[in-house]
Structures are given as C-alpha cells and as structure tokens.
Amino acid sequence: MKRLTGKTALVSGASRGIGAAIARRLAAEGASVAVTARTLHAADSAIDGSLDETVSAIRAGGGNAQAFAADLADAGQDRHALIATVAEQLGPVDILVNNAAANFYQPLEAVSPKRFAIAVEVNLHAPLALTQAVVPGMRARGAGWILNISSVTAALPRHPPSAGTSGPLLYVATKAALERATAALAEELHPMGIAVNALSPQAGVRTAAAEQYYQLPDEAVEPVETMAAAALVLCSGDPASATGRITRSLEFLVETGAPVHTLEGDALLDGWQPEDIPASRLASPEASTDESSLRAAAD
C-alpha cells in the first residue's frame, strides 16, 4: 500500500513549480490532494501553469485531486471556510503544505503599503491562518503534518553585507519569521501528534516563473523532484520525532538517504539519488541563485 493512502493533503501555490511538483508527488503516494492558487485556468495567467493542469497531471497518473481557486493575498478571505470546503469534498486535511509565496524586488523606500501588506499576508499570515484552521481536526485524529516552504535567504548571511544589494527585504524577513513560527509551532503541537517542519530549496529550481527573472548555470540548479522527495518524507514521517526541522532539500536527502523518484513515483530520478549528490552541492547558495526568492508569481 502507498504510504499516503487514505490521507488528504492541501498544497497552496500549486498551479506550477514547486507547489505543483509536491502535489503530484503526494498524490502518487496515494493522498487525495486539494490544490489551491489564484490561477485556475491556463488563460488566467501569462505564466505557464494552472490548477487545472496540476489536477489533470495527477488524474492522468491515476491519482485523486481537486482544484480550489483562492487568492491568499486577500486578507478578508475566510481560510477556515476553505479548509471546511476541502474537508467536505475530499476529506479532513491530514497534510498541509504552505508553498504560496509573494515577493517584490524593490528597495524599502519604494515599497508601497499595498505590496508590504501582500508580502506579509501571503508569506506569513496565510500559512498561520491555514494552520490554525487545520489544527483542530488534526488534534481530534491524533496526527497531522504541516510543511512550510521557505527559502535559504531567510538565514543570516555568513559574510559582511555587500554594498548596493537591495530588494528582497520583505521576502527574507517574512520567510525568517515563518521559520521561527515553524519552530514555535512544532513545540506547541508536538503533544498533539502534529509535525511542523520548514523546507527550502538548496539551490535554484528552473520553474516557469523563475525563468522569467534569470537564467541559472547547471551547477546552481536542482530539479523540482528533489524538493518533492524531501517534502514527501517530511509529510509522512513519525510526528513524534520528525518535527521541528528547518532544513534544505539536498542536505536533508543526503542525511536521510531518501530516494528521489519522478513525480509519478514510478522510477528513480537518474543522477539525483542521495549518494549522487556531492558535498559541493550542499554549500549555501547566494540569494541570487535561490529560486524561491524570486517566486513573485508562485501561484
């Protein structure tokens, strides 16, 4: 039996990129997957990817998925109602993956109040509000898994500041806050059997949104499947022990020895098994090569 059979997962920002990959990988392991984002249909966005396409890919592989269009930048949106709707149509949420993200590369003096509010809403308040909505059900069932997708840019720099670097302030600040909230929630929810972890890409991931902003050299890239593989482990481990982790994809895979499969789960991904990943790949990448730091259109 597949490891997530009987479980229901909700993945935000799942119209494309990392969110869509995680949704497909969880579905391949038997979970019924609810996917949410702004882009329901392909015609709704200039960037490739939509919830319809993610659902179609999951169903084509024999999985179960349903789309729930929602704008997590809308502070007035009822997140409890979203969770209730998912529960009515797919089952109570056992796994929550907070992947949706917003970023605006501007110096602080140029950031408008609207953009400030959107960054905080999408990157911090929405994940916490969705967590608040799923916890009662998880507590009643005695188990649950919450995974927050973060960024390596949330970590403090290991070198002196570089002159002239500006723009990612709101993104890195909100992601750092999300990581600290992850650690606090892991402690709070541990007695309830609920795991709370945070996962970042180790390097850049070539997604449709990311490629609009920059081109990465091969040595600074990891495939989306490595993020999906690490997410699967963190969404299926024993909540008693596999919780409170703030980790990065490749180092986590090397540490755990977890295999990296295709998103369909039917084959191993050549060249990206834990034993294939050299130590040089585990070095901290610069902010400019972190795909997640440029996901202004992540959903």
Classified as helix, coil or strand, 265 is coil
b (16+ CB within 10 A) / e for 197-220: bbbbbbbbbebbbbeeeeebeeeb
- Measured distance CA(224)–CA(234) in Å, rounded: 16
**Concatenated DSSP letters for 33-78?**
EEEEES--SGGG-SSS--HHHHHHHHHHTT-EEEEEE--TT-TTS-
Query: Quick one: which H or E segment has residue 95?
Result: strand 95-98
171 carries an active-site annotation: yes
Contacts of 44 (CB under 8 A, 6+ apart): 38, 50
Dihedral in degrees, nearest 10, Cα atoms 13, 123, 298, 109? 160
Through-space distance between the first and last CA atoms of the chain, rounded to whole angstroms: 32
Contacts of 118 (CB under 8 A, 6+ apart): 73, 102, 104
Q: Work out the burial of residue 12: count CB atoms within 10 Å of its CB; fewer than 13 is exposed, 13-18 middle, 19 or more buried.
A: buried
- Neighbour count for residue 237 (Cβ, 10 Å): 18
Beta strands of 187-257 (E only): which ranges? 194-200, 246-248
Residues marked as catalytic: 171
